[in-house]
Chain A
């Protein structure tokens, strides 16, 4: 449509000034936007409270759509069940799949137990989830992969806590609002997770590629022992996740590891559980250490053993170091 003639300023001083003010305000808006963008690229959590408020406001609507979504999934699986061999078939199939994952996890746990008993005899305590909630939304228009969770700081959810579905790891809590939280999904290209192979001890990092696959990079380079179909589970290094949770299945091997498919797809889950950070002491020690090394301007200090103030942390890092040593 042609612009109305009222927008041509002509000789009218008033019109000229208002046009100029419009450009001035728009330019100011752009400059303020640039400043805020630089600030949030430098300090990504700077606007977390604001975003928390916003996601709290949207979470109820997300709950409603999540209910519809899970209802639809139930409907579709029911229909496919009838087409094949009755609706039981679909449920049984899912159960067998879960059992297969559980079996592989159990193998991983067995191996873990053997190793830990040999090393220290650490006692395992049962972990109770902090909250169980629905995934109420996600960043569907951005290149980043975040999800919104329907539970927040009022339910005890804190940044850093792992988020799990019944199949395996979904991601990690990044920011919390009062009744909602933002989760960094494993597929995001900023997500890195220490993993190992369920069978045998091959330690690696699983990084999101941003396209739904994970890139598995081996810690010890050499002959690549991975094969397509291998299940990767969390190794427990870093202290956020407890060891032995299913993460991904290797789809293709590369010289330095492989690409892997997720075991737990966020879009096909109904409820997810938020678990407490596995070893908070280790996480906080790592954080203070990296902060200290940043202050000193010397990245090599990160490699030094932990400060004596955190004995559990140093023991846990010793455990993970020993685990990595015992690979061969």
Chain B
């Protein structure tokens, strides 16, 4: 059989014989990817204006939208606390906003269960913009009109980045579920 078709006994997650998923990978990839996305923007030097939207939150939204039910409802609090350590926002702001965002999405989803890609994008964009605005208001500094103006590209980027994030989450999900462990 293998001589005719080498992929005969494999699917997109790898060989189906003698292999199984790695439980560590299955459990950790969503959390690690969100935490890494929280860390990455720290390495940029932004002296004039915010350069990127909160990548950690976009990654969280991606996992929530692409794989509903994978992250528990309370995942926003610990992941937000981690993000607060690096983002420059006062500690607790992402913890509060990410929790509220996840609860809000859950409530919306209970009413409108089936969603296609465009509706996903709309919901994610709306939530991202609301969280961006609330984060700006809760930044611990006086809110000036100039701050809002220079942060507007952030909101636009947040909306535009969602499809890319969703694709990234999909490929990460394939990596997460790959049959990496050999049995016996």
Contact = CB atoms under 8 A, between A and B. Distances in A.
Interface in A103-155: 135-148
B136 interface: yes
Do most interface residues of chain B lie in helix, strand or loop, or is the interface mixed?
helix
A187 interface: yes
Contacts of A235: none
A26 B92 contact: no
Interface stretch (A50-58, A85-93, A224-232, A249-257): A50-58
Nearest to B70: A4
Interface string A265-277: 1110000000000
Interface in B1-60: 39, 41-55
A3 B65 CA distance: 9
Interface in A1-35: 1-4, 6-7, 22-23, 25-30, 32-35
Nearest to A144: B88
The size class of the interface chain A forms with chain B is: 35 or more
A138 B45 contact: yes
A266 B44 CA distance: 11
A266 B151 CA distance: 19
A310 interface: no
B59 to A, nearest CB: 12
A188 B86 contact: no
B44 A140 contact: yes
Contact of B41 (A27, A44, A140): A140
Contact of A2 (B51, B77, B103, B113): B113
B126 interface: no
B99 A33 contact: yes
Interface stretch (A61-69, A236-244, A295-303): A61-69
Contacts of A142: 50, 87-89, 135, 139
A184 to B, nearest CB: 10
A38 B146 CA distance: 25
19 contacts: A1-B115, A3-B69, A25-B72, A26-B76, A30-B100, A30-B103, A33-B96, A37-B92, A37-B95, A40-B92, A44-B90, A135-B45, A141-B50, A142-B50, A187-B48, A190-B142, A210-B147, A212-B48, A267-B48
Interface of B: 39, 41-55, 65-69, 72-74, 76-78, 80-81, 85-97, 99-100, 102-103, 106, 109, 113-115, 120, 135-136, 138-142, 144, 146-147, 149-151, 154
